């Protein structure tokens, strides 16, 4: 087995976030469910944008945010995702490369425009997302290059990829290539609604060992096992997954292995501005820790640190070097 | 004279800001002069963007930022400026209307793309701007509607309009319409380099009374009178202008009238994140104060408050209601 060229490679929807503040009334008026991601078509996107307040545009996408976080820790990171060759596509491409991530998926020359997610941030810092998938849904098997996947120690996939059929095929192809090359496959469940759409298939991925490392937050875990009882869900997860991390916001996280579970506290935060990217950046730190062969608790602390950084400002990508931040906090990098 | 329909109408370059953090080395390597605005052509824009770090896109433009600030104080505000009918043009249009500003200038169906300003924010919070004017330079006399200008108590113009010939014509036409309707005309000198390009013409505007209210920062004032001595420059200004405000960063501002000058302190600020928009938002508060017929010191305090808000976060537009902020600080609105 050759030395990996990348520590972590992510595959996900390539999305530009359009972020605006909104009050709770706005969500109610538009029948949005706080804290979740809804898929919308272009007409809905226009309607939501038309009624939203002034916005900021920033590159986003769950796995892309994670990969940028991995790079910010100083690791070798790569991303696979589909944009259109348009203004927002160029923004996405610029930002991910400027963050030090290898990104070579060719933009689509035609077809739907680059994916946008309208993110409404309420005064409590919670974010509610409405995503028009656009070009991202045309990510396909052709975009998954065997030599790139085989060159990454960990391939990280987002559950959102399960929504478009092409992306799902690409997901499974990538997982097969990774395992053939004796690499690891990680998955984030992405969103409780997404789990609700694909529950049985996600359980299949975990139980069959297609996924080696699983990330879930509490809502996603409850949705996966259809129970409101955390202990019940955790026990079920412990049976199904070789290694999983359940994130619990300000209650920190639980690292779940067959032989034991370990709780790691959240990092103290002065003020939560925008929770967008909290889970994505937790995964960044944890995956970086695994790539550096740190123990799981250290990896979880790196995750907690990165999540704490990203929720203290608007947007889902780190504003400061996570490597330096870890060093300042005495966590090994 | 009919009751004005707008408190303040602004005319300026309609620009989307592309904001990234950069270190001082970056500015040196690209021969940029800190704190100034340079005009660039599209090829330079591509080159700068290619070497910049990850960025955020937000609507900007000096006079546009001011007008959004005026609206945030709760006044009736309008803007005139030119975008192209492209992605960034739609972003600009959305954001200014979502801020409550009347904006009806038709976007250009073809020609150069919407103006972008690449803004590099250094660790000291200073911003250095490189602007590709694009569609903005095609703002012309046809975009200046007599009934709209005549309906505004104050028409506010940016010095940057002096760069493209069409916009300069539109500027002079607007000033003539405003004065015919017995309204007031305000001007910001915009940038020390801009003053250097157009010194004699700006002095002509002030001395001839085409401009009733002048905004300048220290660097612009020094450039206008070509002296490094503040007292000398201030004395010259006092002779030339009926009403002027000179902003001096953390030293507050000086309100200059023929009969006296008054100093007003800056608002205390916890941490300067990004000085972009400081002058624009000062002008917003001052113009709002004038429109509400407050005394000049109160108007300057409103300006200082708005400037303090905008330098504590990334981007040149207020993130919170300036009306509420003024109320919280006991300043009349």
* Residues in chain A with pLDDT values less than 70: 1
Taking only the tens place, the pLDDT of each residue in B88-147 is 999 999 999 999 999 999 999 999 999 999 999 999 999 999 999 999 999 999 999 999
Taking only the tens place, the pLDDT of each residue in B188-208 is 999 999 999 999 999 999 999
Return the residue in B51, B56, B88, B314 with the most chain A beta carbons within 10 A, the one to mutate for interface testing: B56
Rounded-to-integer distance, Cα B226 and Cα A308, Å: 49
Asked whether the beta carbons of residue A58 and residue B56 sit closer than 8 angstroms, the reply is yes
Return the residue in B16, B23, B55, B57 with the most chain A beta carbons within 10 A, the one to mutate for interface testing: B57
Rounded-to-integer distance, Cα B36 and Cα B219, Å: 10
Rounded-to-integer distance, Cα B324 and Cα B318, Å: 12
Return the residue in A46, A48, A54, A91 with the most chain B beta carbons within 10 A, the one to mutate for interface testing: A54
Taking only the tens place, the pLDDT of each residue in B200-249 is 999 999 999 999 999 999 999 999 999 999 999 999 999 999 999 999 99
Asked whether the beta carbons of residue A91 and residue B57 sit closer than 8 angstroms, the reply is yes
Sheet holding B56-60, edge to edge: A37-39, A127-132, A115-121, A15-21, A56-59, B56-60, B15-21, B115-121, B127-132, B37-39
Asked whether the beta carbons of residue A56 and residue B52 sit closer than 8 angstroms, the reply is no
Q: What is the token pair recorded at A152?
A: 């990454």
Tell how strand B127-132 and strand B213-217 pair up: unpaired
Rounded-to-integer distance, Cα A306 and Cα A247, Å: 13
How much is the pTM? 0.94
Q: What is the ipTM of this complex?
A: 0.91
With cut-offs at 50, 70 and 90, classify the pLDDT of residue B3.
confident
Task: Give the CA angle between residues B175, B211, B108 to the nearest 5°.
Answer: 40
Judge whether residue B1 has pLDDT over 80.
no
Give contacts of A49 with chain B, Cβ < 8 Å: 94
> What is the SS3 assignment for A318?
coil
Q: What is the token pair recorded at B91?
A: 């972003």
Interface of B with A in 92-121 (CB under 8 A): 94-96, 98-99
With cut-offs at 50, 70 and 90, classify the pLDDT of residue B165.
very high
pLDDT at position A316 is 97
Mean pLDDT, residues B250-269 taken together: 97
pLDDT at position A3 is 86
Instruction: Please report the domains of chain A, with CATH numbers, ordered by start residue.
Output: 11-328 (3.40.1190.20)
How far does B19 lie from chain A, in Å, by closest CA?
10
Percentage of the residues of chain B whose pLDDT score is greater than 90: 98
Distances (CA, A) of B37 to A167, A264, B41, B171, B197: 44, 48, 13, 20, 12
Question: Chains A and B: how many Cβ contacts under 8 Å?
Answer: 57
State whether the Cα torsion A15-A20-A24-A28 is positive or negative: negative
């Amino acid at each position: 087995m050759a030395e990996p060229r990348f520590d972590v490679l992510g595959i996900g929807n390539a999305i530009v976030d359009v972020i605006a503040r909104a009050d709770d009334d706005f969500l109610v008026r538009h029948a949005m469910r706080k804290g979740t991601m809804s898929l919308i078509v272009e007409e809905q996107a226009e309607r939501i944008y038309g009624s939203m307040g002034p916005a900021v545009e920033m590159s986003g996408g769950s796995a892309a945010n994670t990969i940028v976080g991995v790079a910010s820790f100083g690791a070798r990171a790569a991303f696979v995702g589909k944009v259109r060759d348009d203004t927002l596509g160029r923004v996405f491409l610029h930002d991910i490369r400027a963050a030090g991530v290898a990104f070579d998926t060719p933009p689509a020359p035609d077809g739907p425009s680059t994916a946008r997610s309208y993110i409404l941030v309420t005064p409590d810092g919670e974010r509610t997302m409405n995503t028009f998938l656009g070009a991202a849904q045309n990510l396909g098997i052709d975009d998954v290059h065997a030599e790139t996947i085989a060159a990454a120690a960990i391939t990280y996939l987002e559950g959102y990829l399960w929504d478009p059929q092409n992306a799902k095929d690409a997901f499974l192809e990538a997982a097969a290539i990774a395992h053939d090359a004796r690499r690891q496959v990680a998955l984030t469940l992405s969103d409780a609604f997404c789990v609700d759409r694909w529950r049985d298939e996600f359980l299949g991925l975990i139980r069959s060992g297609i996924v080696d490392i699983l990330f879930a937050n509490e809502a996603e875990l409850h949705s996966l096992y259809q129970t409101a009882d955390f202990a019940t869900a955790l026990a079920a997860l412990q049976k199904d997954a070789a290694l999983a991390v359940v994130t619990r916001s300000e209650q920190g996280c639980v690292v779940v292995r067959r032989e034991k579970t370990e709780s790691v506290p959240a990092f103290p935060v002065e003020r939560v501005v925008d929770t967008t990217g909290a889970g994505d950046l937790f995964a960044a730190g944890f995956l970086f820790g695994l790539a550096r062969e740190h123990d799981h608790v250290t990896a979880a602390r790196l995750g907690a640190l990165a999540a704490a950084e990203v929720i203290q400002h608007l947007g889902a990508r780190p504003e400061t070097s996570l490597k330096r931040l870890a060093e300042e906090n005495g966590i090994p990098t």
